[in-house]
Chains A and B, each alone.
With several copies, the nearest count.
Chain A
Amino acid sequence: MSHDGDSGRKGAAVLPMRRRDFMSDQEVRWCPGCGDYSILAQTQKMLPDLNIPRENFVFVSGIGCSSRFPYYVNTYGFHGIHGRAPTLATGIKASRPELSVWVITGDGDALSIGGNHFMHAVRRNLDINIILFNNRIYGLTKGQYSPTSEFGKKTKSTPAGSIDYPINPLCIAISNEATFVARSIDVDVKHLSSVLTQAAHHKGVSFVEVFQNCNIFNDGAFKHFSERGFRDDRTLRLEDGKPLVFGRDRDKGIRLNGLKLEVVDLRREDSEADLLIHDIHDPDPHLANLLARMDYPDFPVPLGVFRSVAKPTYDELMEAQVQDAISRSGTGDLERLLNSGDTWVVK
C-alpha cells in the first residue's frame, strides 16, 4: 500500500539495555508491601533480555491498582478504562503487528467488567501478553469481593458472605483455546521472571495469572500454599516433558485414574512410571484443563506453563489479508475506486 511505513524501526537503542532503562520517572504509588511491586520489578528486569527496542513496547491496562502498572514502565503506555485494555491492545496490535503489546489487568478488570473482551482477545489468538494480577479482591475501590474471591467471602459489599461461585481464570482462558497459559506468584521472583519471559517469547496470546497479595484488603490470600515452610508441598512446578512430581522431597506425584487426577505417594508406590507427563504442546487442552482445576487442599496448586501451542495469530492473519488483497488487486487506487461502478458523463 501507498502509506509511509511506521517509524517503528529507526534508531533502536544500540547498547544492551538494563532494568533501569525500563523504569519511568513516575513515583510508584502502590501500598507498601503490595505484591504488585514484585511483578513490576521482575518485568523490568526481564524486558531488556527480550532484545526488542524499548520504543516498540506498549503496556496497556484497564483500571485497578494493578492497572497503574504502565505508568511505571518506561515504554509506551496506555492506562485505559475499566475492563477495556484488551480492546485497546487489539487496535494497537492489529494495526502495528511489529509492536510488543502487554496487557496488565486485575481479577476484576479482566474477569468482571472485562470478561467479554478478555474472552475474545484470547480466542482470536491475538499476539499479545495478558498478565492478570489476581489478588482475589477489588483493591482500588477498597475491598469488595471479585470474581475470583472464594465463595462466602465477607467484604464490604458482602457483609453476609458472597454467594457468587468463583471463576477459574485458567479454565476460562483454556476454554477459549488460549495458546499459552501459565501461572506464577508474586513471592517467587525467579519463577515469575521465567514465566514472564516464556510468555514474551510465545507467538500468539499469552495468558499469565499471577497470584498477587493485596496486603491491605486481602492479606494472605495465597499464604496457605505459598509460604516458604510448605510451599514445595502445596504447589506443583509444571515442567514440560517431566512427570508431575512435587513435595519438598519430591515424594509426591500426580497420575490419571480414569478421567480424574489423583495424588500418589512416591514413597509407597515403587515407580514414577505411571505418573502423568506434562506436555505443554499437546494440541488438546484436556491436560491443561485437568491441571487448571487442581487446587489445595486436595491437590497442590500448579504453577508454571500449562499450555503452549502454535496457531496463526489474529494480527498476522489480518495483515496477510491486506497483503493478499494488494497482490491480487494491486495497491488501492483512489481515482479508480471513485470511478468504479456504472458511471456516465454529462457534457
Chain B
Amino acid sequence: MPATTTEKNHKSGREIVEIENATIRFAGDSGDGMQLTGTQFTNTSAIFGNDISTLPDFPAEIRAPAGSLPGVSGFQINFSSRDIRTPGDQPNVLVAMNPAALRVHLSDLEPGGIVIANSNSFLPLNLKKAGYGSNPLEDGSLSGYRLIAVPLNELNGKALQELNLHKRDADRCKNFFALGITYWLYDRPLEPTLSWIEAKFKRRPQILAANTLALRSGYNYADTTELFTTHYRVRTARLAPGKYRNITGNEATAFGFIAASQKLRRPLFYASYPITPASDILHELARHKNFGIKTFQAEDEIAAVGAAIGSSFAGHLGLTGTSGPGVALKSEAIGLAVMTELPLVIANIQRGGPSTGLPTKTEQADLLQALFGRNGECPVAVVAPATPSGCFTMAFEAFRLATRFMTPVFFLSDGYLANGSEPWKIPSVANLPDIEVRFRTEAEGFQPYLRDEKTLSRPWAIPGTPGLEHRIGGLEKQNITGNVSYNPDNHDRMVRLRAEKIARIADFIPSVKVFGKPEGKVLVVGWGSTYGAITSAVESMQEQGHPVSSLHLQYLNPLPGNLGEVLSRFDRVLVPELNLGQLLMIIRSRYLVDAVGFNRVRGLPFKISELQEAIGEML
C-alpha cells in the first residue's frame, strides 16, 4: 500500500496516510462469521466508492472443529482508488481471530504487514490445535510484522455489559468489534453496516443493539487507544460515471439469465441439484418467481438436465446449473440435447477436482470435459465469463447463442468468480442487446430438421402448435425430415452438420481484442476467471516497457475467428491456466503454435506476481 499523501486525523490527532489501495484479510473459525464480516467490509468499501475485488475462502465442512486448521474461514478484500482486477496477491492486514487462522494465513501477509490478533483466543488448547509450540503473540516469532494483539472477547464483553447478554451471545458479536477496528484503520464509514444491522435484526432488538454496540465500540477503541499510530485512507476510485452496485459472480449469473429470459420473452426454467459452488444460483433464481421463473430442485443432476431439456422442448428456456461432478452425470443427457438440437444452457461453476476434489476451491479444469465429455462427436458451444460482473453478460450470451443456434451451450464459471465480488456499473435494460425467439408456427413446409441457411439451426416447433406434431429423440436423425435414419451417408453428413453449426457461431461472436500492442514478443492468452490477474500482470510488464500483450477468451467454442491470425503476430504464446494445460492443448492443436502453459492447480486464483515471473521467463 504505497502512501501518497499524509495528514493529521482531525479527531484522534493521529496521522492519516492516503494510499492507493489496500488488501485486508479476515480469518477465523467457521463459526466466527468471517464471511459476513468480509461482506460488510466489501459493501461498505463499494458504497464508499472504491473499486473492489474479493476472495472468500471457506472450508468444505459446515463448522469444522473449533480452533482446527481445516476449520479456518477467510475473506480477502482488495479496495482501491484505481481500477483493480484481483483480490490482491498479499494482504497488508490480516485479522486473525484465533491461532489456526494466523497459522493458515500468515505466510500470505506482506512482509511488515499488520496482524490484528484476538489475544483471548491464543490459549494453550487452541495453540495446540493450530500446531503452535508456543504463543506466537509472545514468542517473538511475529517480529517481522506489526502485531496488534487485541483481547477481543474481553473488550467486546465489556462493551456489551449493559445489555446483560449471555456470554456466548455477546461473544458472537466480536467480529463486529473487529470490523469496527478495521473501519477505523481504513477510515471507512460505519453507516452502511449500521443500517444493514438495523434491517437484518429489526425483529430481534437485543441482537440489533449488541451488534451496533460492538461495531461502534471497536471503532472507538481504535480511535481512542494508541493501537495504531497511523491510519489510512483509500479514496474513491475514478470509476466510470454511473450507478453501481456490488455483485458476486453467482448473482450476476442469475441476473444475466433473468435478463435473457426477459429479452427473449420466454420464461426461464431452472432445474438443478444443489452443489457447491453453484447452489446460490438456485437460491437466487428461486427468489424471483415473479419473473415467471420456475425453479426445480431435482432428485439428481440427471433429472435436472432432463427436465431442462424437456422444458426447452416445450418452448421455455431450459437451464441447468451444477459443478464438475454434476456435469459428469449430465453428460449423457447433454448428448441428447445435441442430437435433438434443442437450446439448453448448462452452467458449470467449476471447483477443484477430480472427483469430489476440493468442493469450496476454484479451478479451471473442466474445459475439456465441456468440449469432449460425451460419447460420439458431440459438439456444443462454450462461453466463459472473465470477472464476477462479467457473468451477467456471458450468461445472457449463453442464451442468445443457445436459442439462435438451437444448441446446448456451456457457461463455465468457477468458484472464484461465483463467490468473488466487485462493483458493477448497472446496465440499462434498454441497452441490452435485442434478442428474440421465433417459434415455427406455419405447418406448410414444416420439417423438424430443416435448417436455417445461415445458422444451420433447425426450427423450434413447440407442443401446442397445431400441424407441427413431430417426434425427436436420441437416435440419429435423417437431415430435414428428422426421421430415424441408420443410413451411413446421412450419419456422416449429420455428424458434420452438427459440427459445422457450432463452427458457424464464430460469425456471431465478437473478435478477440488484444490488450496492448497488436504484435510483439509475448502474447499471454487466458480464459475465465484468470482475467484480472493476467491483465494486471501484463499491464505492469507493459508499464515496465516489455513487449507483452494479452488476450482473454470468453468464447471457447467456437474460438473467435481472428484468433489464429492474432497468435501469429507474436513470437511466443503463454497460456496461464488453473489446470494442467487444457486451452493450451486446443490452441497448440488448432494453430500449431508452440504455445507454453503456465499452470497452477492450487485451488486458488493466480497471483499477479507469479504471472509476472512466468511472463518474464518468456522474454
A–B touching in complex (CB under 8 Å): yes
Min CB gap B176→A, angstroms = 18
Q: What is the 8 Å Cβ interface bit string for chain A, positions 15-36, against chain B (1 contact, 0 not)? A: 0000000001011111110000
Min CB gap A89→B, angstroms = 6
Find out whether the CB atom of A117 lies under 8 angstroms from the CB atom of B303: yes
Find out whether the CB atom of A3 lies under 8 angstroms from the CB atom of B292: yes
Find out whether the CB atom of A342 lies under 8 angstroms from the CB atom of B68: no
What residues of chain A lie closer than 8 Å to B242, measured between beta carbons?
A: 345-346
Contact of B150 with A by CB under 8 A: no
Find out whether the CB atom of B291 lies under 8 angstroms from the CB atom of A1: yes
Contact of B269 with A by CB under 8 A: yes
Find out whether the CB atom of B299 lies under 8 angstroms from the CB atom of A29: no
Q: Interface centre among A10, A93, A99, A342, by most B CB within 10 Å?
A: A342
Q: Please report which residues of chain B, range 118-173, place their CB below 8 angstroms from some CB of chain A when the two chains form the complex.
A: none
What residues of chain A lie closer than 8 Å to B318, measured between beta carbons?
A: 91
Q: Please report which residues of chain A, range 17-75, place their CB below 8 angstroms from some CB of chain B when the two chains form the complex.
A: 24, 26-32, 53-60, 63, 65, 68, 70-71, 74-75
What residues of chain B lie closer than 8 Å to A99, measured between beta carbons?
A: 314, 463-464
Contact of A223 with B by CB under 8 A: no
Could you say which of A77-85, A242-250, A270-278, A286-294 contacts chain B?
A: A77-85
Q: What is the 8 Å Cβ interface bit string for chain A, positions 84-122, against chain B (1 contact, 0 not)? A: 101111111111101100000000000011011101100
What residues of chain A lie closer than 8 Å to B306, measured between beta carbons?
A: 80, 84, 86-88, 90-91, 117
Closest to A88 in B: B310
What residues of chain B lie closer than 8 Å to A76, measured between beta carbons?
A: 463, 469-471
Contact of B43 with A by CB under 8 A: yes
What residues of chain A lie closer than 8 Å to B471, measured between beta carbons?
A: 24, 26, 59, 70-71, 76-79
Find out whether the CB atom of A7 lies under 8 angstroms from the CB atom of B299: no
| Alpha-carbon distance A318/B246, docked complex (angstroms) | 31
Min CB gap B112→A, angstroms = 33
Find out whether the CB atom of A56 lies under 8 angstroms from the CB atom of B286: no
Closest to B30 in A: A31
Closest to A339 in B: B426
Find out whether the CB atom of B466 lies under 8 angstroms from the CB atom of A12: yes
Min CB gap B345→A, angstroms = 13
Find out whether the CB atom of A32 lies under 8 angstroms from the CB atom of B300: no
Closest to B465 in A: A7
Q: Please report which residues of chain B, range 470-503, place their CB below 8 angstroms from some CB of chain A when the two chains form the complex.
A: 470-475, 483-484
| Alpha-carbon distance A30/B30, docked complex (angstroms) | 11
> Given A7-B464, A11-B466, A328-B290, does the pair A116, B299 have CB atoms closer than 8 Å?
yes
| Alpha-carbon distance A94/B267, docked complex (angstroms) | 12
Could you say which of B57-65, B576-584, B603-611 contacts chain A?
A: B57-65
Min CB gap B31→A, angstroms = 8
What residues of chain B lie closer than 8 Å to A331, measured between beta carbons?
A: 290-291
Find out whether the CB atom of A81 lies under 8 angstroms from the CB atom of B310: no
Find out whether the CB atom of A346 lies under 8 angstroms from the CB atom of B49: yes
Find out whether the CB atom of A91 lies under 8 angstroms from the CB atom of B313: yes
Determine which of B236, B283, B288 lies in contact with A332 in the assembled complex, contact meaning CB atoms within 8 Å. B288
What residues of chain A lie closer than 8 Å to B335, measured between beta carbons?
A: 81
Q: Interface centre among A74, A88, A91, by most B CB within 10 Å?
A: A91
Min CB gap A8→B, angstroms = 3
What residues of chain B lie closer than 8 Å to A343, measured between beta carbons?
A: 243-245, 426
| Alpha-carbon distance A341/B423, docked complex (angstroms) | 12
What residues of chain B lie closer than 8 Å to A71, measured between beta carbons?
A: 471, 473, 484
Contact of B512 with A by CB under 8 A: no
Find out whether the CB atom of A94 lies under 8 angstroms from the CB atom of B245: no
> Given A71-B484, A345-B243, does the pair A90, B303 have CB atoms closer than 8 Å?
yes
Could you say which of A133-141, A201-209, A261-269 contacts chain B?
A: A133-141
| Alpha-carbon distance A321/B355, docked complex (angstroms) | 35
Find out whether the CB atom of B314 lies under 8 angstroms from the CB atom of A91: yes
| Alpha-carbon distance A2/B292, docked complex (angstroms) | 8
Find out whether the CB atom of A157 lies under 8 angstroms from the CB atom of B290: no
Find out whether the CB atom of A115 lies under 8 angstroms from the CB atom of B299: yes
Find out whether the CB atom of A94 lies under 8 angstroms from the CB atom of B311: yes
Could you say which of A142-150, A180-188, A189-197 contacts chain B?
A: A142-150
Q: What is the 8 Å Cβ interface bit string for chain A, positions 298-321, against chain B (1 contact, 0 not)? A: 000000000000000000001101
Closest to A120 in B: B299
Find out whether the CB atom of A29 lies under 8 angstroms from the CB atom of B466: no
What residues of chain A lie closer than 8 Å to B266, measured between beta carbons?
A: 3
What residues of chain B lie closer than 8 Å to A9, measured between beta carbons?
A: 464
Contact of B27 with A by CB under 8 A: no
Closest to B262 in A: A334
What residues of chain A lie closer than 8 Å to B391, measured between beta carbons?
A: none
Closest to A69 in B: B471
Find out whether the CB atom of A339 lies under 8 angstroms from the CB atom of B310: no
Find out whether the CB atom of B241 lies under 8 angstroms from the CB atom of A347: yes
Contact of A256 with B by CB under 8 A: no
What residues of chain A lie closer than 8 Å to B65, measured between beta carbons?
A: 27-29
- Which residues of A are at the interface with B, using a C-beta cutoff of 8 A? 1-4, 6-13, 24, 26-32, 53-60, 63, 65, 68, 70-71, 74-84, 86-96, 98-99, 112-113, 115-117, 119-120, 138-142, 144-145, 147, 156-160, 162, 164, 216, 318-319, 321-322, 324-326, 328-332, 334-335, 337-347
**Listed A/B pairs (28) with beta-carbon separation below 8 Å:** A4-B265, A6-B462, A27-B70, A30-B62, A55-B467, A57-B463, A63-B474, A70-B473, A77-B471, A78-B310, A78-B473, A81-B325, A90-B306, A91-B318, A96-B315, A99-B463, A116-B303, A117-B303, A145-B297, A157-B286, A160-B289, A318-B294, A326-B290, A334-B259, A337-B258, A340-B245, A342-B43, A344-B49
